[in-house]
Amino acid sequence: MAAGAPNPQETAQPAEAPVPVPEPSEKALRYYRSGVVLWWVRLGWGFALPALFLFTGWSARLRDFSRRVGHNWFFTIVCFVILFELAVFVLDLPLSFYQSYLRPHAYGLSNQTLGKWLGDALKGLMVGAVAGAAFLWVPYLLLRKSPRRWWLYTGLLTLPFGFFVMLVAPVWIDPLFNEFGPMKDRQLERRILALAEQAGIAGSRVYEVNKSVDTETVNAYVTGFGTTKRIVLWDTLLRKLDEDEVLFVMGHEMGHYVLGHVTRSVLVLSAMALLGLYGAYRLSGWFLRRFQERFRFTELADIASLPLLMLLVQLVSVVLTPAALAYSRYQEREADRFGLEITQNGRACATAFVKLQRENLSHPRPGPLYKLWRASHPTLAERIEFCNRYRPWAEGRPLKYASRLRLREGVSAGDRGSQR
């Protein structure tokens, strides 16, 4: 049976029958356990890599070389950033190769060629180096001009920077890595656009991305800001989910727009950046006093301090991450609720998450530490169970987001799907 084909046992059930949460396969359990180990390795490496540059004096030597090449303050920073990005890329390459190429292939989740993987990695290096060279001089200028308030001004600047990145990423960055285009299934596209009109976001852009060249997993997401906002569907998702399930996914993604999650996410991330930079500022004094001879710099305004700032921000982010993830899970739950209310098809919602679990080798009930520090979404078990029980339209109760929906009386997207 094809992955996207309906399961005869599922279709035989009445529409109101709850969809059970499937137990993870042995393969999925192995993938989950190895992923936990890899997360710890990646976390430790995130601290070890900048520490390596600091305690070996590499960062100071890189600064000295950049001064000789760059001649002035601005080009010294540009040269340092480019060389530092290149060095980090080379040192991180073995772990990155295992994490994003060897491991997905070992579990049958990727069909990406080695050439495509390497090309994407080099493009990522290019984007990081260009962005760093273009913008990193700003916080170092603030460090020179205001050693005690640089963290505040830099944190405040992350807000417009975040909106700028969201604006340009869909049109300048994302197409570097994958091919985006209009949906091939015009009938399904019409149903999605009709759903968007009900959500009050008529004229929305829906793109299909050719992700099957990279992966067998399924996904969809919202991206962009202002004139570049769009909903993106992976072609793998369109192949493996049926139309009603795709409509729920679309309702979920539209919910992020209607409920203002995109803007709020940028605000939350900016607040996190502000707290992270303040924490780095408070901690940096002790490190500079204790290790200045090893580091070979005495102030944060020295570009050689970049690995130290990375290390300290990473340390603070470990503390702040659970709060940020909890807020993200709240947003995802409300987007699920919006998707349910606009489609009024709880069964399609639940079966979509069942397929998501199967295709992505996900664990429906990960451990509490995983949820606390890694889960940006509710667990799949929680989402399936929510789809099963949340049915206010069938119970005579008001919809939470009724004021935001333009549903025709007595006809929902889910009804139309069942009438095909």
Contact call for residues 183 and 208 (beta carbons, < 8 A): yes
CA distance 160 to 390: 38
Chain CA centroid to CA 296, Å: 37
23 flagged as catalytic: no
Of 265, 242, 262, 264, the C-alpha closest to 201 is 262
| Tokens 């727009």 found at | 257
Chain CA centroid to CA 163, Å: 15
CA distance 62 to 67: 9
Chain CA centroid to CA 36, Å: 18
Q: At what angle do helices 58-70 and 73-97 cross, to 10 degrees?
A: 130
Nearby residues of 168 by Cβ (< 8 Å), 6 or more positions away: 228
CA distance 380 to 370: 13
Which of 208, 245, 253, 385 does the annotation list as catalytic? 253
Q: In what order do the strands lie in the sheet with 206-209?
A: 180-181, 206-209, 230-234, 220-223
Structure tokens, 296: 């070979």
Pairing of strands 220-223, 230-234: antiparallel
**Residues assigned a catalytic role:** 253
